[in-house]
Amino acid sequence: MKNGRIIRVSGPLIEACEMKGARMFDVVKVGEEHLLGEIIGLDRDKASIQVYEETEGIGVGEPVYLTGEPLSVTLGPGLIESIYDGIQRPLKIIQEEVGDFITRGVSANALDPEKKWEFIPEKKKGDRISGGDILGRVKETVLVEHRVMVPPGVEGVLKEIKKGKYTIKDTIAVIKSKNGKEEKIQMEQRWPVRKPRPIKRRLPPTEPLFTGQRIIDTFFPIARGGTACIPGPFGSGKTVMQHQLAKWTEAEIVVYIGCGERGNEMTDVLNEFPRLKDPKSGEPLMKRIVLLANTSNMPVAAREASIYTGITIAEYFRDMGYSIALMADSTSRWAEALREISGRLEEMPGEEGYPAYLGSNVAQFYERAGKVECIGEPDREGAISVIGAVSPPGGDLSDPVVQNTLRVVKVFWSLKAELAYARHFPAIDWLTSYSLYLDNIRDYFDREIAEDFIKLEQEAMRLLEEEAELQEMVRLVGIDAISSKERRILLVSRMLREDYLHQNAMHEIDTYTSMKKQYLMLKNIINFYHEAEEIDADIKSLENLDILTDIARMKYVEEEKKEKLVELYEAISKAISGVTAKREEEQ
């Protein structure tokens, strides 16, 4: 191991000289304490290094050791249910080793090297194999079957394959390559985080990724393999939204990155997810989750890396043929880490002090999402859907991070402070949000949900838009000055807002709504509107109908009892026909 010498220390940035042989983005160990760092700039024999740990106490003249390897993650069985920091150090092991506070220079294995996994081969001796082929299976958790793959780039004939209990470091197969060299394969593999894993080809996203959140699934759906962003000021419920998505999204595996956010929120995730049951299997949700926690007070450079660590882990599972949802909360903190490092490097700043390459870095990250055909045998498709929270200063959407993100993502869930103040959650603004996947996934809705679903959705959206205009008018001329047709629109759109879009994440039933139930709920509300419209129903009588209470309580109807909603459809028609009768009597 060659080494250099420190000549400058400024916060997380260190400069070292005598660094011949160093390569960009290689990992180095800094100082006597061997703090982990990464080379982010080279100038002759001088290297700029961002250090992933607190640098206090480091001085000029201390050594820097080259490792010759880029920042990489360890991949293999044992990832699921783990909680890592931004550079894949397991926080649980760190706590066991150094106690409740994270001190410097701790290192720990990302995956347990002692644990034995039952490996069941799927290939046999003599098979021709190449990178990406599935060699065999390991039952990682009740919910996840880990498919052990041939590392990309390896090719040859299988000379030996073992069955039975092995650790991730044991050889499970031996491959004889063309040039006669033998290569031993372990369950563990390493991959540099800043390099996307190879794929066969990319596919257009055509299926929706359901989340159980009504406003998202019905109005602004995200596709499997799509990208979405949630910008919003603080207190508008970004994090709750991310938690909800992590809990209920129909993905097989969830990678959750807490990037520069609150420590207590990560603890909440850690407490909550093992307790919550997966709606499909009834098993704890934690059994399909990988967590990365680099809270705001942890070193800033590791925060920058956490996004890449997370997406590399997601890509690894995608290559097995899984659908992965990746949540990053919040990408603004990641961008700020970039800005801080850039400032220390004395680079020319772009907008708001962010480096000029912010846009390309954001785009590169989101482009690692997508639905793909994986390399290797058997043929399989995998997908990564990325949902990034953005925390713009003051909720101002002209912030460079928001703007650069909007340029690449296809779904925009805009959180609005006013809605949050009125405790309308999720505080997604239905007038400004959008989803560009609607066209791609329309067929799916017609086929799998109901033929009239898209029609209902469009009608509901039209009502909501008309409401916004009418409200302006009411503000000017008063409620009595508008026609009863318009007042019916106000009544129904209020129903849509309060009884459909509003969804309580803390309520045991309301927290998740299946597509079938969403359809029935929406159909009932629109039916109410149509029936009332047809007979030109009197607004006062409509407002006093008892059935309104039943409509308001649709969301609390349990999934198993959703047939009740079908009955309600009839009841609504009946109740409204009662209204006309009343009106005629009056006349």
Enumerate residues 253-272 that contact another protein by CB under 8 A: 258, 260, 262-264, 266-268, 270-271
Residue ranges in 508-527 that form contacts with another protein under rule CB under 8 A: none
- Decide: is 274 part of the binding site for another protein (CB under 8 A): no
The strand pairing partners of 383, in sequence order, are: 323, 371
> Going residue by residue from 141 to 180, which x/- string records binding to another protein, judged by CB under 8 A?
----------------------------------------
Nearer to another protein by Cβ, of 148 and 539: the residue is 539
Nearer to another protein by Cβ, of 184 and 357: the residue is 357
Q: Are 228 and 217 in contact (CB under 8 A)?
A: no
Q: Are 283 and 319 in contact (CB under 8 A)?
A: no
- Decide: is 474 part of the binding site for another protein (CB under 8 A): yes
Q: Least distance to another protein from the beta carbon of 346, Å?
A: 8
Q: Least distance to another protein from the beta carbon of 371, Å?
A: 32
Nearer to another protein by Cβ, of 549 and 587: the residue is 549
Residue 365's Cβ-count burial label (10 Å; 0-12, 13-18, 19+) is buried
The strand pairing partners of 70, in sequence order, are: 26
**Residue 226 and residue 371: Cα distance in Å, rounded?**
8
**Cα three-residue angle 308-313-317, rounded to 5 degrees:** 145
Q: Least distance to another protein from the beta carbon of 273, Å?
A: 12
**Residue 553 and residue 576: Cα distance in Å, rounded?**
18
**Residue 228 and residue 390: Cα distance in Å, rounded?**
10
Residue ranges in 481-500 that form contacts with another protein under rule CB under 8 A: 498-499
- Decide: is 44 part of the binding site for another protein (CB under 8 A): no
Q: Least distance to another protein from the beta carbon of 161, Å?
A: 37
- Contacts of residue 45, defined as CB under 8 A and 6 or more positions apart, other chains included, come to 4, 17, 18, 19, 20
Nearer to another protein by Cβ, of 67 and 95: the residue is 95
Nearer to another protein by Cβ, of 177 and 271: the residue is 271
Nearer to another protein by Cβ, of 10 and 281: the residue is 10
**Residue 212 and residue 248: Cα distance in Å, rounded?**
6
- Decide: is 398 part of the binding site for another protein (CB under 8 A): no
Residue ranges in 221-240 that form contacts with another protein under rule CB under 8 A: 233-235
Q: How far is CA 563 from the centre of its chain?
A: 33
Nearer to another protein by Cβ, of 180 and 478: the residue is 478
- Decide: is 252 part of the binding site for another protein (CB under 8 A): no
**Residue 4 and residue 31: Cα distance in Å, rounded?**
10
Q: Least distance to another protein from the beta carbon of 525, Å?
A: 14
Helix/strand/coil (H/E/C) assignment for every residue in 328-354: EECHHHHHHHHHHHHHHCCCCECHHHC
- Decide: is 58 part of the binding site for another protein (CB under 8 A): yes
- Decide: is 504 part of the binding site for another protein (CB under 8 A): yes
**Residue 18 and residue 3: Cα distance in Å, rounded?**
8
Q: Least distance to another protein from the beta carbon of 574, Å?
A: 19
Q: Which two tokens stand for residue 55?
A: 């640098």
Q: Are 521 and 555 in contact (CB under 8 A)?
A: yes
Residue ranges in 335-394 that form contacts with another protein under rule CB under 8 A: 336-337, 339-340, 343, 346, 349, 352-353, 391, 393-394
Q: Give the chain's radius of gyration (CA, Å).
A: 28
- Distances from the Cα of 273 to the Cα of 100, 324, 361, 467, angstroms: 21, 17, 31, 39
Nearer to another protein by Cβ, of 24 and 422: the residue is 422
Q: Which of 203, 397, 417, 461 binds another protein (CB under 8 A)?
A: 417
- Contacts of residue 416, defined as CB under 8 A and 6 or more positions apart, other chains included, come to 232, 236, 427, 428, 429, 432
Looking only at the bridges linking them, the beta strands covering 3-10 and 13-17 are antiparallel
85 SS3 class: coil
- Decide: is 467 part of the binding site for another protein (CB under 8 A): no
Q: Least distance to another protein from the beta carbon of 116, Å?
A: 24
Q: Which of 228, 298, 515, 520 binds another protein (CB under 8 A)?
A: 298
Q: Which of 383, 385, 390, 326 is nearest to 358 (CA)?
A: 390
Q: Specify the amino acid at residue 433.
A: S
Q: Least distance to another protein from the beta carbon of 342, Å?
A: 8
Residue ranges in 419-448 that form contacts with another protein under rule CB under 8 A: 420-424
For helices 331-344 and 300-319, the axis angle rounded to 10 degrees is: 130
Q: Least distance to another protein from the beta carbon of 90, Å?
A: 9
Residue ranges in 89-118 that form contacts with another protein under rule CB under 8 A: 91-92, 94-95, 99-103
Nearer to another protein by Cβ, of 268 and 381: the residue is 268
Q: Cβ–Cβ contacts within 10 Å for residue 407, how many?
A: 11
Give the interface segment with another protein, choosing from 53-61, 161-169, 274-282, 371-379 (CB under 8 A).
Answer: 53-61
**Residue 209 and residue 57: Cα distance in Å, rounded?**
49
- Decide: is 59 part of the binding site for another protein (CB under 8 A): yes
Q: Which two tokens stand for residue 71?
A: 């920042």
Phi/psi for 368 (5° steps) reads -80, -5
- Decide: is 198 part of the binding site for another protein (CB under 8 A): no
- Decide: is 9 part of the binding site for another protein (CB under 8 A): yes
- Decide: is 206 part of the binding site for another protein (CB under 8 A): no
Q: Least distance to another protein from the beta carbon of 114, Å?
A: 20
Residue ranges in 534-553 that form contacts with another protein under rule CB under 8 A: 548-549, 552-553
- Decide: is 57 part of the binding site for another protein (CB under 8 A): yes
Q: Least distance to another protein from the beta carbon of 160, Å?
A: 40
Nearer to another protein by Cβ, of 10 and 577: the residue is 10
